[in-house]
Amino acid sequence: MTGPETKAAVAWLTSAAPDPGACRWEWERDPRGIVLLPAGRRWDVLILPAVLGYPTLDVLTRLVDRPGPVLADSAEARMGFFVPPGTASGWLGAGVRGCGRGTWIVVPYPGRATGGVRWLIPPDGSGTLTDLALLERAMHEAAGAAAQEARERRPKR
């Protein structure tokens, strides 16, 4: 990310904090490069297991030029897709956890390497979020492809 993109991304992310200035100050000085930000105000986050998340991201990036921000944990076990606020409260899906109002998300500083989480698609500062209908379509395609692969690998009787 370039300097202006990083500055815009930081401004957008910290705008969700109760005190954006204090959040920015702490974030820029924290050697870990992470902060906790509340979900439900500017975005919700849908957390998918990586086994579904990575194929979903592959499909999603074929459907749109730039989806909303996406996080991955350092163990590569889970991914978080930033979606419009209110999504989490209405989301039902096996293995998918919704983080909305009343939850907090560990967020790394854009453009910096950190130990616990990393950006797969960093925010660009514009407020772009992943469209829920497109995300759901991508999840269905990814799950369908995985099921087809499993059927093809199954021994024939």
> DSSP letters of 94-115?
TT-EEE-TT-EEEEEPTT---S
- The yes-or-no verdict on residue 113 having pLDDT over 90 is no
| 147 vs 52: CA distance, rounded Å | 11
- The yes-or-no verdict on residue 92 having pLDDT over 60 is yes
- The yes-or-no verdict on residue 133 having pLDDT over 70 is yes
SS3 149: helix
| 21 vs 23: CA distance, rounded Å | 5
- Residue 55 is predicted with a pLDDT of 94
> What mean pLDDT is predicted for residues 34-48?
94
Q: What pTM does this model have?
A: 0.90
Q: What is the mean pLDDT of the chain?
A: 88
- Residue 2 is predicted with a pLDDT of 60
> What mean pLDDT is predicted for residues 56-72?
93
User: Would you place residue 1 in the very low, low, confident or very high pLDDT band (cuts 50, 70, 90)?
Assistant: low
> What mean pLDDT is predicted for residues 9-23?
93
| 19 vs 80: CA distance, rounded Å | 24
- Residue 90 is predicted with a pLDDT of 81
